Amino acid sequence: MKRASLLTLILFGSLSALNSAWAVDYPLPPAGSRLIGQNQTYIVQEGDNNLQAIARRFNTAAHLILETNNTIAPVYPAPGTVITIPSQMLLPDTPREGIVVNLAELRLYYYPPGENSVQVYPLGIGQLGLETPVSTTRISQKIPNPTWTPTAGIRARSLAQGIKLPPVVPAGPNNPLGRFALRLGIGNGEYLIHGTSAPDSVGLRVSSGCMRMNAPDIKALFAQTRVGTRVQIINEPVKFSVEPDGKRYVEVHRPLAMVEGENPQTVSIAQSSAFTSFVSQGGSDKLLVNKALSRRAGIPVVVSTGAGQAVNSTGLSAQNTRLPVAASQGGQEQAIQ
């Protein structure tokens, strides 16, 4: 699988005809910094099938694009619509080791050992009531060409939707687990990071607790990781940082709904003691912090005292870039795993 830096992705993506996703490698920031990447702008083109297809070209999730662009059509934005691609972010406040999943932002971060870089992938996670658990664990097994044995609960839920699942689904391109799976050492081994036969489900809460990746992404991750690789799963909708230049950033995502019908745009967000301290410090503009908490744009915004309206970083233009489509468009979800 080809991997490219963000700048390479922008400059040379239009030259590639490969039908694969792009795992974006970001150089790790300097000591004391957590800010990586730079946002991009893109103009929707004739022939862009839907927002999920656009998201796959930039190796992000439609959900994240909608957070940043909350006035665009959620499925079929009109040609000519200018959208911001959220490709700048703050690294999670975790050890920079192995795999880090932040459920709230539907992203997986992988820190290759011995390299000064981080890879960022979009992710599908557990649905309401079948949440992916917050935990720190390890990869316990690597499974190429996995078969899928749906549990009794999954079979019952699928049957209620009019879908009768077989006891075992053999390995192959139509397997809901895709071509590669990484088993985690939590629970009874039922939690996996795996591919999917439903690419439009990546970036959504639709699984029974497993984490789904685009086919080229899980292939790349599978090749690089080993049994014993550390995996940390967090659920933090608010990230914040004081950068070496003194700028203070807040990145706020819509929190995961905890009950049916809950509005993630308006539900209150629990604030940690560390974030409360960050807000109360002299360099933070509380008005800008409150605006960021209310807007929940999913990208870092400057909340330093005196920043005023200059809260968004400048984006790179990718409006004419035709990046390779990640995978076949796929159809509706046929089974929930």
Which of 235, 224, 144, 238 shows the shortest CA–CA distance to 192?
144
Judging by beta carbons within 10 Å of its beta carbon (0-12, 13-18, 19+), is residue 337 exposed, middle or buried? buried
Per-residue DSSP letter, 96: S
Active site residue 214: no
On the CB side of 93, how many CA atoms lie within 13 Å of its CA? 14
Contact at 8 Å (CB) between 35 and 304? no
The separation between CA 68 and the C-alpha centre of its own chain, rounded to angstroms, equals 13
Per-residue DSSP letter, 179: S
Cα end-to-end distance, the chain, whole Å: 25
Collapsing DSSP to helix, strand or coil, 15 comes out as: helix
DSSP per position, 132-146: PPPEEEEEEEEEES-
Active site residue 253: no
Say how far apart CA 156 and CA 87 lie, in whole Å. 39
CA distances 301 to 90, 151, 248, 290, 321, Å, are 10, 43, 8, 12, 25
**Annotated active-site residue in 83, 210, 238, 297:** 210
**Annotated active-site residue in 194, 239, 248, 253:** 194
Judging by beta carbons within 10 Å of its beta carbon (0-12, 13-18, 19+), is residue 120 exposed, middle or buried? buried
Query: Which residues partner with 37 through β-bridges?
Result: 88
Residues labelled as active-site residues: 194, 210
